[in-house]
């Protein structure tokens, strides 16, 4: 019996050895396109599986197993590294901060003939549609998600890094362990906001410049106006639909505030149960999408503060986030019948899908009607609205940072969880 047991054990090991030598057609293609995956140094330590976790313009994330510990790993395979400086920042960031405060952990690194393999912790997670399902089922889930996201972002910013690609698919949630991970630092950079061109210099340059003759304030918006004066290399980074307005104008490329705006879009998407919230085709459409939320006049004012002339021909009022969330989460007909006593609005009917009765979700003025949406300060929807207003502030210098947003959440939770002690005869007034 003992010999039979030993033979079975050795046979299983031999079978596992043979399986490790057999490569699927997909693995062969990966190894041909990314030579680091066929490097003996890599293959001696890790065995690739056929499971793709994610795929993007920079490379592919593949599942693998450590041959010694038999633990699963996520391999971020980059076919060809073009900007070594960006890879250096990603490696420095993960080496320094990985494994702490919801930042994904780096285990190993391989480099062969221009191709790169980052060995990261394997983190099984929910899809974006599953996240929306959790948010629909439990309104408080979005607050849990947002608080953990801000914890990771605050940790990055405190250590001098900017992520620059915050989105729903880059902040993972595991329902099994109830934990979170911030991933994909391919666009991350150092915080260089202290060397930006001061606003007053840019405004002075704009005032000396003549008004644009290309649009004469009729464009939607004018690409020529926003191109003067140029203060930084104009290169839009990040994912369309979650970019901050200043980023679309080539400003604040290394400022932590762009991460906060993206966090605000993520929260809005979760609470409204709509992902992606915007799907712009280009930068111009992205600016118009932001005008839908912030108002066209607010975008133009923000651009003037930055020393730019931007003209949006369609006059859009700013959105009231409280009513917008209700409309998108519960439907326009439900809000019209049960939640809103507002008059029908032609502007809201035209700029929203399936709003046949013109349920109004706009505000007359961005500043004066801010935060006047909730009636109960302990209401969960009210704290969502406050967080979104502060995170989606168009002026990047007024926009709350991660610490301030976390303080808002903590203040709300303290109010909700506060239980007064019963009065006794010994209490003094």
Domains, the chain, in order of start with CATH, read 23-121 (3.30.200.20), 128-319+363-416 (1.10.510.10)
pLDDT at 229: 44
pLDDT at 282: 84
Supply the DSSP symbol for 35: G
Q: What is the mean pLDDT of each run of 10 residues along the chain (429 residues)?
A: 53 48 57 78 88 74 90 88 77 94 94 88 91 93 96 96 94 94 92 78 67 60 54 64 88 90 96 91 88 91 84 86 90 83 83 85 70 59 92 93 95 83 64
Supply the DSSP symbol for 38: G
Lookup result for tokens 């020529």: 224
**76 has binding-site annotation:** yes
Q: Could you give the angle at which helices 141-158 and 402-417 cross, rounded to 10 degrees?
A: 140
DSSP 290-344: HHHHH-HHHHHHHHHHTT-----SS--PPB-HHHHHHHHHH-HHHIIIII--PPP
Lookup result for tokens 């140029």: 230
Q: Which two tokens stand for residue 179?
A: 């934990």
Instruction: Give the C-alpha separation, 89 to 138, whole Å.
Output: 38
CA-closest candidate to residue 319, choices 369, 279, 271: 369
pLDDT at 113: 82
pLDDT tens-digit readout, 382-394: 899 999 999 999 9
The whole-chain average pLDDT of the chain stands at: 82
DSSP 150-216: HHHHHHHHHTTEE-S---GGGEEEETTTTEEEE---TT-EE--GGGSPPHHHHHHHHHHSPPPTTTT
CA-closest candidate to residue 290, choices 278, 281, 301, 282: 278
Reported pTM: 0.85
pLDDT at 263: 97
Cβ neighbours, 10 Å, residue 216: 10
pLDDT at 50: 76
Instruction: Give the C-alpha separation, 38 to 148, whole Å.
Output: 37
pLDDT at 232: 44
pLDDT at 244: 92
Spatial neighbors of 392 by CB under 8 A, at least 6 apart, are 261, 264, 265, 268, 293, 294, 399
pLDDT at 386: 92
CA-closest candidate to residue 192, choices 106, 257, 141, 119: 257
């Amino acid at each position: 019996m003992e010999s039979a047991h030993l033979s079975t054990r050795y046979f299983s090991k031999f079978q596992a050895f043979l399986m490790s030598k057999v490569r699927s057609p997909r693995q062969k293609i990966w190894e041909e396109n990314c030579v680091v995956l066929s490097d003996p140094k890599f293959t001696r330590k890790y065995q690739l599986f056929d499971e793709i976790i994610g795929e993007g313009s920079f490379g592919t994330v593949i599942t693998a197993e450590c041959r010694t510990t038999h633990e699963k790993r996520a391999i971020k395979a980059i076919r060809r590294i073009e900007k070594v400086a960006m890879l250096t920042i990603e490696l420095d960031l993960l080496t320094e901060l990985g494994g702490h405060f919801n930042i994904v952990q780096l285990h190993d690194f391989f480099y062969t003939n221009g191709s790169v393999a980052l060995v990261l912790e394997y983190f099984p997670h929910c899809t974006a549609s599953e996240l929306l399902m959790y948010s629909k089922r439990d309104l408080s889930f979005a607050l849990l998600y947002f608080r953990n996201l801000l914890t990771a972002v605050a940790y990055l910013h405190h250590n001098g890094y900017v992520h620059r690609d915050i989105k729903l698919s880059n902040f993972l949630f595991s329902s099994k362990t109830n934990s979170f991970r911030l991933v994909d630092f391919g666009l991350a950079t150092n915080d260089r906001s202290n060397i930006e061109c001061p606003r007053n210099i840019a405004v002075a340059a704009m005032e000396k410049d003549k008004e644009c003759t290309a649009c004469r304030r009729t464009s939607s918006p004018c690409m020529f106006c926003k191109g003067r004066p140029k203060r930084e290399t104009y290169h839009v980074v990040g994912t369309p639909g979650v970019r901050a307005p200043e980023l679309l104008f080539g400003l604040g490329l290394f400022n932590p505030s762009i991460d906060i705006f993206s966090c605000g879009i993520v929260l809005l998407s979760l609470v409204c149960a709509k992902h992606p919230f915007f799907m712009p085709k280009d930068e111009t459409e992205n600016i118009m999408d932001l005008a839908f939320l912030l108002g066209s006049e607010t975008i133009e004012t923000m651009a003037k503060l930055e020393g730019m002339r931007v003209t949006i021909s369609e006059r859009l009022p700013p959105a009231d986030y409280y009513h917008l969330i209700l409309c998108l989460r519960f439907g326009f007909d439900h809000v019209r019948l049960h939640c809103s006593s507002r008059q029908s609005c032609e502007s809201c009917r035209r700029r929203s899908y399936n709003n046949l009765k013109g349920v109004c979700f706009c505000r007359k003025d961005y500043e004066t009607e801010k935060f006047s949406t909730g009636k109960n300060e302990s209401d969960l929807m009210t704290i969502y609205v406050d967080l979104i207003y502060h995170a989606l502030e168009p002026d990047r210098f007024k926009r709350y940072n991660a610490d301030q947003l976390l303080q808002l959440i903590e203040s709300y939770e303290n109010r909700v969880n506060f239980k007064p002690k019963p009065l006794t005869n010994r209490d003094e007034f």
